[in-house]
A = this chain, B = another copy of it.
Amino acid sequence: MSTPGTPSFQPLYLQIKALMVKSLEAGEWRPGEAIPSDLELASRFSVSQGTVRRAIDALADDNLVVRRQGKGTFVATHTEETVSMPRFLRIRRDDGVDEHPGSRLLDVRRGKAPADVARALDLKPGEPVLVLTRVLEFGGVPVVVDEITLPAALFRGLTRAKYEAYQGSMYGFFETQFGVRMLKARERLKAIAADARTAAILGVAPGTPLLAVERVTTTYGDRPVEWRRGLSTTLHHHYLNELG
């Protein structure tokens, strides 16, 4: 019988995985780069190739690395998402066309974390944050208004000009410019009535039902590093979710 609370037996390959996560977190292997080969890692950790493989499989399951046969295993990155669909974006066109939306930054300002956001971000209420407001446009039509709150301490030097100079996705920007890697997210969806300002941006009548998506995004160790709230018209778009 195992005492509740006692950490149950952890297989070797998960221990190896944990070591590798540390290397990733410490930046020993950087996004986009290849990590050492199976055999190198096997000798480094003094385990068999098969055990290293299982550890890497687990990392690949968590989307921390990507394996490419014949080439190597690469640290996952948000900077290669410009071609495909951003990994965390679930809004789609109703007609099924897989369009990559454009992003338009409306505003960057500093502020203090309100109580609820502070709780979600593990900050003390009133700690300095950055608040970005942006619009996602499908085919030039505004569909989503995002309000993105970031702990100022992690994103020192983020300005509107800096973001606009960057070519690529927002998470790619965070990753390359601030070393903050967005790994997981938890979203809570609600339906709300459009306020006047959002309605104006989205070109709908105030009071129109909008899809509200509140997201807490985390990095290594499930540490929350982003809080955002997106409001979407769902006249010609929807939020897609696959249950498996």
Contacts and interface: CB of A to CB of B under 8 A. Distances in A.
Contacts of A68: none
A243 B239 CA distance: 13
Number of copies of chain A assembled together: 2
Interface string A161-203: 0000000000000000000000011111111110000000000
A99 interface: no
A98 interface: no
A45 interface: no
A55 interface: no
A115 interface: no
Contact of A211 (B189, B242, B243): B189
A109 to B, nearest CB: 27
A7 to B, nearest CB: 17
A207 B244 CA distance: 33
B240 A188 contact: yes
B239 A88 contact: no
Contacts of A242: 184-187
A84 interface: no
Interface in A64-108: 87-88, 90
Contact of A241 (B87, B186, B212, B244): B186
Given A187-B241, A209-B210, 6 more contacts: A186-B240, A187-B243, A188-B239, A189-B239, A190-B211, A190-B239
Closest 7 CB pairs of A and B: A209-B209, A190-B234, A191-B191, A191-B209, A189-B239, A185-B243, A188-B238
